[in-house]
Structure 1
Amino acid sequence: MGRLMTVATCSLNQWALDWEGNLARIKESIHEAKARGATLRVGPELEVCGYGCLDHFLEGDLYLHCWEMLLNILNDASCHSILLDIGMPVIHRNNRFNSRIIALNGKIILIRPKLWLANDGNYREMRYFIPWGRPTHVEEYYLPRLIANVQGSQKVPIGDAVISTPDTCFGAETCEELFTPNSPHNAMGLNGVEIFTNSSGSHHSLRKLDTRISLIQEATRKNGGVYLYSNQQGCDGDRLYYDGCAMVIINGEIVAQGSQFSLNDVEVVTAVVDIEEVRAYRFAPSRGLQSLQAPTYQRIETTFSLSSGDSDFDPNVTPSRHQSLRVHKPEEEIALGPACWLWDYLRRSKAAGFLVPLSGGIDSCATAVIVFSMCRIIMDALKNGNTQVKADVQRIAGAYEAEDWFPKTPQELCNRIFHTVYMGMAAQSSKETRSRAERLAKDIGAYHTDMNIDDVFHAEKGLLTQATGFEPQFKVHGGAVSENLALQNIQARTRMVTAYYFAQMLPTVRKRPGGGGLLVLGSANVDECLRGYLTKYDCSSADINPIGSISKTDLKRFIHWACSEFSLPILDEFIDAIPTAELEPITHDYVQSDEADMGMTYDELSIFGKLRKEAKLGPYGMFQRLLHDWRDKCSPSEVAVKVKRFHHFYAINRHKMTTMTPAYHAEGYSPDDNRFDLRPFLYPAFFESWSFKRIDEVVAQLEKEGGVNE
């Protein structure tokens, strides 16, 4: 048997600026790692302050409090006798750096700044930090006085160095550095580093985990080595859900993997690794020749060994075995990710529960089922003895019960914290949607209210007539387009006001103590947001939205999956129902249809969204791509009409995204205007644009030539 050592990585549910809470979770992870015999512990990126501090990273207080929390760890003897890799920001020479603090036995031995920063999509790290940008460069860092007094010296090394122990060598890289073409682990591995730590603040997106893990596996398949991946988990105060999945990989094989979605605030993953496997793996002469040309790293020496020593062979301690990667299906990701995010938001906001306007359509249905999924996850956590979840449930749902109260079923919990309301109109709402909403609420246990809003609608409508003498009519009654739209918007906005009224008063109606209100949940999907097919300040306006970055196509798959997995046969009726806003009167020959109103299908909207955002195509480029992709189902002129229609409505409705409810981020083509998709919201008229003229020129040429050439 070779040289064995136990290493630990973790997922922590940190919260931006929750100083004492973050400290407690860090220390708990250290204690648990030590209890399992680990000699190296790595934690998530910026774990001391929380990753999502955003512009708080510009404040001096934040850096002071980080050092104060770190001082607590350094002074705590229970956190000694283990090599610690801790994430926090530091200021050096008036510049802010996203850094790793490598510490041992109450002393800092290295500050390792991040070399390459995440600065696209949801990430704006260069707004707050600068990259170290000088591989292998090391200089001196002058410690704050409160740390220098404990350190026993004024200075410590800062820079791109590695840690040498008597039995191995380890180096740190941080999140984005793994995703760069020339990752630090390449040069470090050639320089003899055998253990790599990666501290991450990586958020969940549908179907993303495979990409992340394949990069780690490829890194160690090519270089050899032990790779410890740590990630934040949970909602730390923003639209993102960090999806954990801490793991240990050796030579491309997974030997330990944590959960991707969990209500555990602290999850420690350990593995027993044989460092001799790494040395045997790196046998190729070509690798050896390249290592002679690799950059030389300064090695920070320590006498602390990660292994127990050559002579201490213990036949009862064996290396962790290889295991397959556990990956959730997209339907499961929707059931788990937004549900865990909702629970974090609910328990940390101190609200009394949720309310959703339940329309009988698939979007609000999906939102309700995600809340029910949350209740199922909570029940599993209670059965597994999660004391934090039990305390949160008792505080939120059981405040007027005996102290040891907790629910027996997900439905019982759902009834305490989830409220649904159907707001119908006599002429517009069908019996089918009203019935579906009521039966779904009953099956999941929600506290349901059924009402009509006709009186409010007619009162608002009558204001214009009273003031001007003009009475607007719906389209089916002969009204103009502007009249029809205005009357639809009255209903939609009335529902938003009513939802907030009920959210504030229902806890009082139900005699819930504490006076806390309910969080209103939105249920506009990503495709409706992209197209702007919603009323500004209607029920799309809410406190948070768990499905605002999920496509209609994926929501249908999720509902189909949940129908059997959650034993909710009622969901079949939602899948088969025609999507409708039910904002116009139903007649014997007319029922409003979303796709007919939009002039495009939801599947087409998903394609437009991905080409616009992920493929980075404008109108002309999108037309060129779809001209080939849709050649078997659309003529060039039909493709042109669809592309131009999409861009026209996208442009004129873009202003709506500036006010959209904060939504769980799950999809790469989300039009979230907060920071993920930064676009103008006042566009020139696309129908007069040069790009549309170029499309028309190509269509005319193709029609003249007789079609698209093979």
Structure 2
Amino acid sequence: MGRKVTLATCSLNQWALDFEGNLQRILESIEIAKAHGAKYRLGPELEICGYGCADHFYESDTLLHSFQVLRKLLESPITQDIICDVGMPIMHHNVRYNCRVLFLNRKILLIRPKMLMANHGLYREIRWFSHWNQSRRVEEYFLPRMIQEVTGQDTVPFGDCVLSTKDTCIGTEMCAELWNPRSPHIQMGLDGVEIFTNASASHHELRKADQRVNLIKSATTKSGGIYLYANQRGCDGDRVYYDGCAMVAINGDIVAQGAQFSLSDVDVRSYRGEVCQPNMESEPKPCHRVKVDFSLSSGDDIYLPTHQPITWNFHTPEEEISLGPACWLWDYLRRSGQAGFLLPLSGGVDSSSTACIVYSMCVLICQAIQDGSDLLESRNDPRPLLLIRIHDHPSYKSQVLEDVRRVVGEDSYCPQSPEELCGHMFTTCYMASENSSQDTCSRARELANQIGSTHMNINIDMAVKGILGIFSVVTGSWPKFRLWRQPQREPGSAERPGQTLSH
């Protein structure tokens, strides 16, 4: 016997400083989650302002606009009767923190600041944020007036605390905290927390999904419980691609998998299952619990079958290389307002690989428009697992098609094949000179025909000679090119070290 709860986790394609667009995507994800009975909705890290704001985090306007979006979320009827967990920057005692804000029915329940920063590789969180280094400590946070007017609250709990509902206890992690040897979920699990959430902005690297899955599975293997993982999706205006991969784990098993490479702006995954009741020891310093008069379950004890683990669908390295950059290209193209891509196609491996990635982008777009990629379980599936088919949402296909039409400049256009779409969005040109070979020219033309790009041959000899002429006038000399190679040796002759020929 147990009680059924429905939880929703999201991958959102948020954009740095796109406050209006980010707000609409957050509301859309909450609306979808509520439509499927979810009582708790988790979103990605810093979803209100976007993760890649960089030094704009220093600006007071970024904090101001984030609170303005939070106010609209609190006032919206869409956010009623569901616990919403959103991410935004907050200044507390004149210190800037990367925070989660949990609210319900126009009341902020708690604010949880990030405790462990990501500050390696391409991450520089310590440049903009301070970490909350006071374990199990909670202070009062004075809300801005614009929020007080909506909530009627002067202060709310701020710090390392968990949420205690009528039927369970929910604890929060944030991105890098999962990867740390002293992850907060360890202590929370020992103190009886049953549902763990992680809001992340984790970018795509080859085989990184394997690490995420293993870490999330292990988070509930020892102490039991449910783990929700949300992640940013898209390029966020940066040069990296955040690859989604929202997932749900229970008792060490993955039970729901979100798409890693998708063109959708909003991707929601829900889980219906039995809340674990592990018999755990209390920690000497128990978690500070914020009590909320709300239940995630229906309140009736019902029979629930054992959860059904799924086999994670890992992409091969070749698929990741193709799909990751392809998703980034589309996200950047549709947001930049440009009409397509131009590529000098030499027939060599570098430019040919780039052309194939653009073609992969066109394949993904056509799949999304025609029948939706990553189609999942039916909504009427009687099993405990419920995966929402976000691609059936009416705004999904129309948004992709609307973006395509805007890019190609035709209001009634609908692509019939990747090759045809490639012809509208992608122009390749072979830049020939007196040093070019017929083989490279043929290879470039053949590849362009295969992928459908608009292809041109351009002779650049005159441009090259013009540049060289300017160089010679300015410098008084003519560029000289030297080719180094080993000479042909006669049979029986000894090689002379260092011998070269120059031209």
Cα distance 1:471–1:238, how it changes in 2: closer, same or farther (>3 A)? Answer: closer
Q: Distance in 2 between matches of 1:146 and 1:192?
A: 36
- Aligned counterpart, 1:30: 30
- Residues 606-653 of structure 1, C-alpha deviation per residue, up to 9 Å, x if partnerless? xxxxxxxxxxxxxxxxxxxxxxxxxxxxxxxxxxxxxxxxxxxxxxxx
2:243 and 2:260 in contact (8 A); partners too: yes
Tell me if 1:395 matches 2:409: no
Cα displacement (A) at 1:2? 1.3
2:382 alignment partner in structure 1 = none
For 2:429, the equivalent position in structure 1 comes to 421
Task: Work out the CA distance in 2 between the residues paired with 1:321 and 1:185.
Answer: 23
- What corresponds to 1:274 in structure 2? 274
Structure 1: 5+ residue stretches without partners: 482-583, 590-710
Rounded Cα–Cα distance in structure 1 between residues aligned with 2:288 and 2:478: 81
SS of 2:53 mapped into structure 1: helix
Secondary structure at 1:236 match in 2: coil
For CA contacts below 8 A with separation 6 or more, give which structure has more relative contact order: 2
Q: Is the 8 A contact 1:100 1:113 kept in 2?
A: yes
Aligned: 1:334 with 2:321: yes
Residue 449 of structure 2: aligned partner = 442
- Which deviations, in whole Å up to 9, do the C-alpha atoms of 1:254-290 show, x marking residues without a partner? 1111100100000000011201xx22xx35xxxx4xx
Task: Quote the sequence identity (%).
Answer: 54
Q: Which amino acid aligns with 1:106?
A: R
Rounded Cα–Cα distance in structure 1 between residues aligned with 2:43 and 2:476: 68
Q: Compute the displacement of 1:468 (Å).
A: 6.7
8 Å contact 2:345–2:444 — kept in the other structure?
yes
Is the Cα–Cα contact under 8 Å of residues 4 and 319 in structure 1 kept in the other structure?
Answer: no
**Conservation of the 8 A alpha-carbon contact between 1:271 and 1:319:** no
For residue 362 of structure 1, the aligned residue among 340, 349, 352 is 349
Paired letter, 1:249 = A
User: How far apart are residue 362 of structure 1 and its match?
Assistant: 0.8
Deviations 1:56-91 (A, max 9, x none): 000100111111101111111221111111111100
Query: Distance between the aligned counterparts of 1:272 and 1:368, measured in 2?
Result: 43
Contact 1:113 1:132 in 2 (8 A): yes
* Structure 2 counterpart SS, 1:223: coil
Displaced runs of 4+ in structure 1, greater than 6 A?
A: none
Matched ranges for 1:553-632 at <5 A: none
Give the superposition deviation at 1:461. 2.3
Compared with structure 1, are the counterparts of its residues 319 and 54 closer, same or farther at alpha carbon in structure 2 (3 Å cutoff)? farther
What secondary structure does 2:360 align onto?
Answer: helix
- Three-state SS of the structure 2 residue aligned to 1:134 is coil
Equivalent residues of 2:187, 2:283 under 8 A apart: no
- Counterpart CA distance in 1 for 2:14 and 2:162 is 27
- Letter of the structure 2 residue corresponding to residue 321 of structure 1: Q
1:644 corresponding residue in structure 2 = none
How far 1:318 moved relative to its partner?
Answer: 6.0
CA distance in 2: counterparts of 1:230 and 1:120, whole angstroms? 21
TM-score when scaled to structure 1? 0.63
Letter in 1 for 2:422: C
Q: Please tell me whether residue 373 in structure 1 is matched to residue 356 in structure 2.
A: no
Q: Report how far residue 475 of structure 1 moved.
A: 3.1
Q: How does 1:1-20 map to 2 (within 5 A)?
A: 1-20=1-20
- Specify the code of the residue in structure 2 equivalent to 1:387: S
Q: Which amino acid aligns with 2:369?
A: L
**Conserved 8 A contact 1:256-1:320:** no
Change beyond 3 A, Cα 1:25–1:377: same
What is the letter of the counterpart of residue 431 of structure 2?
A: M
Task: Provide closer, same or farther for how the CA distance between residues 360 and 76 of structure 1 changes in structure 2, counting only shifts above 3 A.
Answer: same
Deviation of 1:391 after TM superposition, in Å, equals 0.2
- Equivalence for 1:106: 106
Instruction: State the Cα deviation string for residues 323-357 of structure 1 (Å, max 9, x = none).
Output: 11111001001111100100011010000100111
Inter-partner Cα distance in structure 2 for 1:43 and 1:470: 62
Q: 1:461 to 1:184 in 2, by over 3 A?
A: same
- Decide which structure has greater strand share: 2
Deviation string for 1:210-250 (max 9, x for gaps)? 01111111111122110000000111000111110101100
Which residue of the other structure, out of 311, 314, 339, is the alignment partner of 1:352? 339
Q: Which residue in 1 is equivalent to 2:376?
A: none
Structure 1 Cα separation of the partners of residues 446 and 3 of structure 2? 61
Would you say the 8 A contact 1:272–1:318 is kept in 2?
no
Cα offsets for 1:542-580 (capped at 9, x unmatched): xxxxxxxxxxxxxxxxxxxxxxxxxxxxxxxxxxxxxxx
Cα offset, 1:463, TM superposition: 3.6
Q: CA deviation at 1:429?
A: 1.3
Q: Give CA deviations for 1:8-62 in whole Å, capped at 9, x if unaligned.
A: 1010000000001000000000010011111111000000000000100001001
Residue 466 of structure 1, CA deviation? 5.0
Residues 221 and 252 of structure 2 are in contact (CA less than 8 Å); yes or no, is this contact kept in structure 1? yes
Show the counterpart of 2:299: 309
The answer on 1:407 being equivalent to 2:415 is yes
- 1:409 corresponds to which letter in structure 2? S
Matches within 5 A, 1:652-663: none
CA–CA distance in structure 1, aligned partners of residues 219 and 360 of structure 2: 36
- Read off the aligned partner of 1:424 and give its amino acid letter: A
1:80 and 1:104 in contact (8 A); partners too: yes
The residue aligned with 1:528 is none
AA partner of residue 416 (structure 1): H
Q: Structure 1 residues 471 and 179, CA, compared in 2 at 3 Å: closer, same or farther?
A: closer
Shift of 1:186: 0.6
Distance in 2 between residues matched to 1:475 and 1:130, nearest whole Å: 54
In structure 2, C-alpha distance between the alignment counterparts of 1:103 and 1:95, rounded to whole Å = 22
* Structure 2 contact 192–282 (Cα < 8 Å) conserved: no
**What is the rounded CA distance, in whole Å, between the counterparts of 2:282 and 2:329 in structure 1?**
52
Pairwise CA distance, 1:458? 2.1
Cα distance change on mapping 1:139 and 1:472 into 2, 3 Å? closer
> How far apart are residue 404 of structure 1 and its match?
2.7
Q: Structure 1's 86 and 456: CA in aligned 2 closer, same or farther, altered over 3 A?
A: same
Supply the distance in 2 between the matched residues of 1:269 and 1:141 (Cα, whole angstroms): 32
What CA RMSD, in Å, does the superposition of the two structures yield over aligned residues? 1.8
Q: Distance in 1 between matches of 2:199 and 2:221?
A: 20
- For 1:393, give the aligned amino acid: V
Aligned amino acid, residue 400 of structure 2: V
Residue 130 of structure 2 is matched in structure 1 by 130
**Cα separation, 2, equivalents of 1:293 and 1:321:** 31
Distance 1:7 1:449 in 2: 53
Question: CA offsets, 1:149-169, max 9 Å, x none?
Answer: 111121111011111111100
Other-structure match for 2:89: 89
Measure how far apart 1:471 and its partner are: 4.2
Say if 2:254 and 2:310, in contact at 8 Å, map to a contact too: yes
Output the TM-score relative to the length of structure 2. Answer: 0.89
Structure 1 segment 121-270 matched on structure 2, within 5 A: 121-270=121-270
**C-alpha distance in 1, partners of 2:68/2:57?**
16
Alignment of 1:42-57 (within 5 A): 42-57=42-57
Provide the C-alpha distance between the structure 1 equivalents of 2:121 and 2:98, rounded to a whole number of angstroms: 18
Q: Tell me how far 1:295 sits from its aligned partner.
A: 2.6
8 Å CA contact 1:136, 1:295 repeated in 2: yes
Give the residue type in structure 2 aligned to 1:475. Answer: R
CA distance in 2, matches of 1:264, 1:10: 11
Residue 293 of structure 1: CA displacement?
3.8
**Shift in alpha-carbon separation, 1:381–1:319, aligned structure 2, 3 A:** farther
Amino acid at match of 1:28: E
CA contact (8 A) 1:7 1:273 kept: no
- The answer for unaligned runs of 5 or more in structure 2 is 373-396, 489-503
- Partner SS state of residue 163, structure 2: strand
